[in-house]
Chains A and B, each alone.
Chain A
Amino acid sequence: MKNKLMHLSNETMNIGFVKKVEALSGSSVRRCFQCGKCSAGCPMSTFMEHPPNRVVRLLQLGQGQRILAGRSIWYCASCETCTTRCPNKVDLAAIMDALRKLSWDADGPSKESYVQLANRLFIENIRTYGRQYELRLGAAFNMKSGQFLKDLMLGPKLISKGKLKMFHSKNKNIAEIEGIFKRIEEMRKKGEAL
């Protein structure tokens, strides 16, 4: 992909997508002049097919689909190094968030399923219990990802060290959390929020 000629035309560029990313992230992609500082400092760039500076470049060229088709956005650790160091105030960490949200909402074409699964279970946990319970999170992840033996040796050790709670309760104000989820869903249905 990297060395293939890219033909740019109204048909191959999706500018509407770029505008959505800019609206969601509150950051312009046009300010980027490709200095590469973001990628130089990115701890995860070795795991990405498109390092951060190229993600911005692809957006400038209206090639959002190429980004979503890959794993890069799901390998971003949200460490904010890129945002901190960009000389042009491109908020790359927020752009990564926006790309993930768009991919997530479209039930992403991305190949990276484990990170998305972990995110989904994490958020479901909040909705159901109010707080995070790591044992439940880990167990659910292993079940749903089919990796039944993952971290098998770690579990009992952590339980014996008091690091994983075997039992837990729901927040007693859990209805308020459900309210937040519901009202956000309603706002989105009515088109009042992105």
Chain B
Amino acid sequence: MTPGKKRLSYSYYPGCSLHASGREYDISTRALFKALNVGLKEVPDWFCCGATPAHNVDELLSLSLCAKNLSLAEEVEGDLAVACAACFSRLKTTQHHLKEDDSKRKQVEVAIDGPAALNKPVKHILEILAREYGLAKLEESVKKPLLGLKVAAYYGCLLTRPPEVPELDDCEDPSIMEDLLRALGAEPVKWSHRMECCGANFTLSRPGVVLKLSNAILESARFAGADCIMVACPLCHGNLDIRQKEIKDAYGAPDSTLFGNIFGSELHGGSAPDQRDLPIFYVTQLAALAMGVASGSLGFESVITDPKPLLRDKQLL
């Protein structure tokens, strides 16, 4: 789809998280697209993409679930917009695999009892904002620049990996999020953990893993002087936001708890650790805020680590 006079318009696969724990991502995506006058129409009766658990143990099932969703998406016009980084990765990977591997494609076609539809471009929201709508036009549309807001742009694992599949940006040194932040008037910080794993879906089975990995991410962002973190994935958001207090309890002040004693922060070598709360924003929340969308319609009330004090402080509310 070329940006021109024609109004941009997309079909939309929200995915399970965006209908529950990541509802503010869904709400803010819709609000942002409306503000930018970009069409967004949800694919009817979409299924779970299978996420990590399905491909973890059953690749054929994972490919079939995604292929089924891709064929459901054919019913709605426009390239397929995906907000969740995990769904995006699964849908893209499926297209890529099935195009390359005829025997797998045939098996999948038996499983879904129909032809695999592999040609609809699947696009992540970031790509749509930065490339299709375009940074220059985005910058022009800004009504309330996010001045003075220092943001750690967090990519996580799946947005750019493996390099053959998502084609979103460089797999080791991406810049799409930082570019977007600059267009919105915010200040992206330089930091070390922007592509480290948050522990992803271990949040259910082994939350201890999440506490350790997500703690390292939060510490790195604080260390770089960030006021907040921007994410593009509901799993990353859940781990960094919902578990943030728990992470603090486990790794925070060295003398506060038994856990603190044993696993005390390595970064700070005994000195009082930086304990600031770091609100976690979805990319669409920050973008919509900059476009002048009323903060009341961006789902901030659903967030656990309250972003309002920070936004008030920066005069963005």
Residues of chain A having any CB pair with chain B under 8 Å: 24, 26, 43-44, 47, 75, 77-81, 83-85, 91, 93, 97-98, 100-101, 104, 114-119, 122-123, 125-126, 130-135, 137-138, 141, 150-151, 154, 157-158, 161-165, 171-173, 176-177, 179-181, 183-184, 187, 192-194
Task: Give the residues in chain B near A179, CB-CB below 8 Å.
Answer: 113
Bound together, the chains give a CA A131 to CA B202 distance in angstroms of 19
Q: Is the interface of A mostly helix, strand, loop or mixed?
A: helix
Per the 8 Å Cβ criterion, residues 221-274 of B in contact with A are 242
What 0/1 pattern do residues 32 to 70 of B give for CB contact below 8 A with A? 000000000000010110111111111111001100100
Task: Give the residues in chain B near A151, CB-CB below 8 Å.
Answer: 207
Instruction: Give A192 Cβ to nearest chain B Cβ, in Å.
Output: 7
Q: Tell whether A47 pairs with B209 under 8 Å between CB atoms, given A173-B45, A180-B65.
A: yes
Question: Is B171 in contact with A84, judged by CB distance below 8 angstroms?
Answer: yes
Bound together, the chains give a CA A131 to CA B43 distance in angstroms of 14
**Interface locus among B141-149, B158-166, B276-284:** B158-166
A24, A115, A171: the one contacting B202 at CB < 8 Å is A115
Question: Is A123 in contact with B201, judged by CB distance below 8 angstroms?
Answer: no
Would you give 19 A-B contacts (Cβ < 8 Å), ordered by A? Answer: A43-B196, A44-B209, A79-B157, A79-B200, A81-B197, A98-B59, A100-B56, A130-B47, A131-B48, A133-B16, A135-B20, A165-B20, A180-B65, A180-B68, A180-B112, A180-B113, A183-B113, A187-B107, A194-B60
Bound together, the chains give a CA A31 to CA B282 distance in angstroms of 40
Please give 18 more A-B residue pairs, beta carbons under 8 A apart, in addition to A79-B157, A130-B48, A180-B61.
A24-B59, A44-B209, A78-B55, A78-B56, A78-B200, A98-B59, A104-B57, A115-B205, A116-B57, A118-B205, A119-B56, A123-B53, A125-B48, A132-B16, A133-B20, A158-B242, A173-B45, A184-B111
Bound together, the chains give a CA A114 to CA B17 distance in angstroms of 21
Number of A-B contacts (CB under 8 A): 164
> CB of B304 within 8 A of chain A?
yes
Question: Is A119 in contact with B53, judged by CB distance below 8 angstroms?
Answer: yes
Give the interface residue-count category, chain B. Answer: 35 or more
Question: Is B302 in contact with A77, judged by CB distance below 8 angstroms?
Answer: no
> CB of B21 within 8 A of chain A?
yes
Bound together, the chains give a CA A77 to CA B200 distance in angstroms of 7
Q: Tell whether A75 pairs with B209 under 8 Å between CB atoms, given A154-B242, A176-B68.
A: yes
Question: Is A163 in contact with B157, judged by CB distance below 8 angstroms?
Answer: no
Question: Is B213 in contact with A43, judged by CB distance below 8 angstroms?
Answer: yes
Question: Is B54 in contact with A193, judged by CB distance below 8 angstroms?
Answer: no
Question: Is B304 in contact with A157, judged by CB distance below 8 angstroms?
Answer: yes
Question: Is A97 in contact with B112, judged by CB distance below 8 angstroms?
Answer: no
Task: Give the residues in chain B near A141, CB-CB below 8 Å.
Answer: 204-205
A24, A100, A132: the one contacting B48 at CB < 8 Å is A132
Instruction: Give B93 Cβ to nearest chain A Cβ, in Å.
Output: 9
Instruction: Give B87 Cβ to nearest chain A Cβ, in Å.
Output: 11
Question: Is B172 in contact with A171, judged by CB distance below 8 angstroms?
Answer: no
Instruction: Give B9 Cβ to nearest chain A Cβ, in Å.
Output: 24
> CB of B101 within 8 A of chain A?
yes
| Least CB separation from B163: chain A residue | A84
Q: Tell whether A123 pairs with B110 under 8 Å between CB atoms, given A77-B197, A131-B19, A193-B60.
A: no
